[in-house]
A and B are shown apart, each in its own frame.
Chain A
Amino acid sequence: MTVITPPETTIAPAIRTPRPTAFWRLKGFPLIPVLILVFIALVAIFADVLAPYDPTIGSLARRFRPPFWQEGGSMAYLLGTDHVGRDVLSRLIYGARVSMVVGITAVLVAGGIGTLLGILSGYLGGWADQVVMRLTDTWLALPALTFAIFLAAIVGPSELNIILILGLVYWTRYARVIRGEVLSLKQREFVRLAIVAGCSSRTIMWRHILPNVINSAVVLATLMLGVVIVTEASLSFLGVGVPPPKPAWGLMMADGKKGLLVGYWWLTVMPGLCIMLMVLSANLLGDWLRVKLDPQLRQL
């Protein structure tokens, strides 16, 4: 026992030193999705300059032209023309504006209502809480798209109505999460101190609670953007979205569907790709933000 043998196996683990990081090089920063979103936003803003043609005017003489690389296509209509001869590229460019405007405004409306009611419900508790939460439970039981279709059937479609409808359908998601956050904030020292110091409920909610739930609201908003855009496109696809002749991507796909079977694939594939890219990008960014900004939402 007094003879001590030297260690036989040595499996040294690899040891690396950390590198300094710029924010876009942070672990998993979704650079490409962010670039795509910025690109779509720029296209939406400068649609008037970028689009080669008026998206609403076509001529039947040049309908169903394929994209330029296919036989019968021309450089004049890069991505071809649709069933009434409108330029697909121009419609896609203006469609970006519809998706962006409707998506972002609807998310803001939903976020505004949801955050407000979530804070009131979580902070005030009691009756207010019961009413808001029961309503939230009930509305969450309705499938979002079905609910949106129902509302669209009542008020009739217009861009403003679609925004309001999406806001009404999706605020419940915010309310529930924000309320949970507020409940845990209420237990925190600084809120208790503010209560003891005699601040009014309004001051506490506005000054102490709201700034602390903004992070979560931003994360939710990013995650919700993708969902809202899909719902908007679905409504347009079903013919109860943004009314024609405004070029919404979902509507373009619905119009193009009939042409699919006879080979006019670009009428559906092009807008579909746009929706897919935008939604995927928003979701990837949202996932990343969720992990980075708000550990509490990780299990969402």
Chain B
Amino acid sequence: MAGQTLLSLEHLSTHYVSQQGTRVVRAVDDVTLALGAGETLGIVGESGSGKTTLALTMMRLLPPAAHIVSGRMMFEGEDLLKKSDEEMRRVRGKRIAMILQDPMASLNPLFSIGNQVAEPIRVHEGASPRTAWQRAVQLLKSVRIASPETRVSQFPHEMSGGMRQRIVGAIGISCEPRLLIADEPTTSLDLTIQAQYLNLLRDLQREHGLALIFITHNLGIVAKMCDQLAVMYAGRVVEQGPVSRIFNAPTHPYTKALLGSIPRMTDGGERLTAIEGQPPDLANLPVGCAFAPRCPSVMTRCRAEAPPEFKTEPGRSARCWLAEPLALRSSAA
């Protein structure tokens, strides 16, 4: 891993509990992940696999029904779960920033672009309105918005989708965070603009030494952008490790299926639909491995007992009984 560990999640679980307390959805279940400073981690999985809940768990901004039930979330040496709400608020936008999926809806229609970009600077750094405004202009320039001096006082409805997404990016980096989480930031953009935006994010990452978590269902983007990869299925990380290692030799049958389903040589927005069967009901998971009903290499054991996380090489692991023979000594808990 490059540099020191910036973020490490240890056995993190987030569950949704229905109002009567009778239905529990394990949206994030026993997730252990680590990310070094300046690294890029891709989190992939089908919709409903818990990617977004994991991101919101890291920001500690979950809907009221969701509860972080266990685990630790170490960031820059501190457990974010132990922070008070007020302390956590000062981390958000300042140390960890997040970009949402929908650029059209993420900007407030009633405030100018400059107002919204300058806001985190004013709140977190106590900058004067004038300084913050000037910084906003620079930020717009750095996300390559033409004539930022005029754009800064315009309103969201006067911008195109690609521009708005870049403005949301500018808000994300406004306080020079150490970690930026991007939740499917390109799904609603068309292909050329997607590519431009990804290049922009990569440049920003280099310039600012950001660590980046990229949540996507697009393996093409992962191949292009990421160092590390975590594959999620039914709330669990089923395989993780360096992107090149996983792409060359995937361990988990689900990862194999995902890699098999991507069209070659595209950055395109193809959805991962080529795997047979339905994603499981998270409130009603099978006893054994959650992927067993759809798995081509399923064994009897898989239906009875869920596999633990096996370390197969340094920095690499898989939750699959097939990985057991490859496991390093004393890895399974």
Binding site for B on A (CB under 8 A): 1-2, 4-18
| Cβ 8 A contact of B22, one of A7, A12, A17 | A17
Q: Is there a chain A Cβ closer than 8 Å to B110's Cβ?
A: no
Known: A1-B315, A2-B328, A2-B330. A11 touches B70 (CB 8 A): yes
> Are B314 and A13 in touch, CB under 8 angstroms?
no
Give min CB distance, B119 to chain A, whole Å: 32
Q: Which residues from chain B contact A6 at a C-beta distance below 8 Å?
A: 11
**Bound form: Cα–Cα A9–B82 in Å:** 10
Q: Which residues from chain A contact B32 at a C-beta distance below 8 Å?
A: 4
Give min CB distance, A9 to chain B, whole Å: 6
- Closest chain B residue to A15, Cβ basis: B21
Known: A1-B314, A2-B330. A9 touches B21 (CB 8 A): no
Give min CB distance, B30 to chain A, whole Å: 8
Binding site for A on B (CB under 8 A): 10-11, 13, 15, 17, 20-22, 24, 32, 34, 67-72, 81, 309, 311, 314-315, 328, 330-331, 333
> Are A16 and B70 in touch, CB under 8 angstroms?
no
Give min CB distance, B101 to chain A, whole Å: 27
20 residue pairs of the A-B complex, CB under 8 angstroms, read: A1-B314, A2-B311, A2-B331, A4-B11, A5-B10, A5-B11, A5-B72, A7-B10, A7-B11, A7-B13, A7-B71, A9-B68, A9-B71, A9-B72, A9-B81, A10-B69, A11-B69, A12-B69, A15-B22, A15-B24
Give min CB distance, A137 to chain B, whole Å: 29
| Cβ 8 A contact of B67, one of A2, A4, A7, A11 | A11
Give min CB distance, B178 to chain A, whole Å: 21
> Are B15 and A13 in touch, CB under 8 angstroms?
yes
- Closest chain B residue to A11, Cβ basis: B69
Known: A2-B311, A4-B32. A13 touches B24 (CB 8 A): yes
- Closest chain B residue to A19, Cβ basis: B20
**Bound form: Cα–Cα A2–B11 in Å:** 13
> Are B70 and A9 in touch, CB under 8 angstroms?
yes
Give min CB distance, A28 to chain B, whole Å: 13
**Bound form: Cα–Cα A241–B15 in Å:** 60
Known: A4-B32, A7-B11, A10-B70. A16 touches B21 (CB 8 A): yes
- Closest chain A residue to B13, Cβ basis: A7
> Are A18 and B72 in touch, CB under 8 angstroms?
no
Q: Which residues from chain A contact B333 at a C-beta distance below 8 Å?
A: 4
**Bound form: Cα–Cα A17–B314 in Å:** 45
Q: Which residues from chain B contact A13 at a C-beta distance below 8 Å?
A: 15, 17, 21, 24, 67, 69
> Are A16 and B67 in touch, CB under 8 angstroms?
no
**Bound form: Cα–Cα A17–B20 in Å:** 8
Q: Which residues from chain A contact B314 at a C-beta distance below 8 Å?
A: 1
Question: Given A7-B72, A13-B67, A17-B22, 7 more contacts at CB 8 Å?
Answer: A1-B34, A2-B330, A8-B72, A9-B71, A13-B21, A15-B22, A16-B21
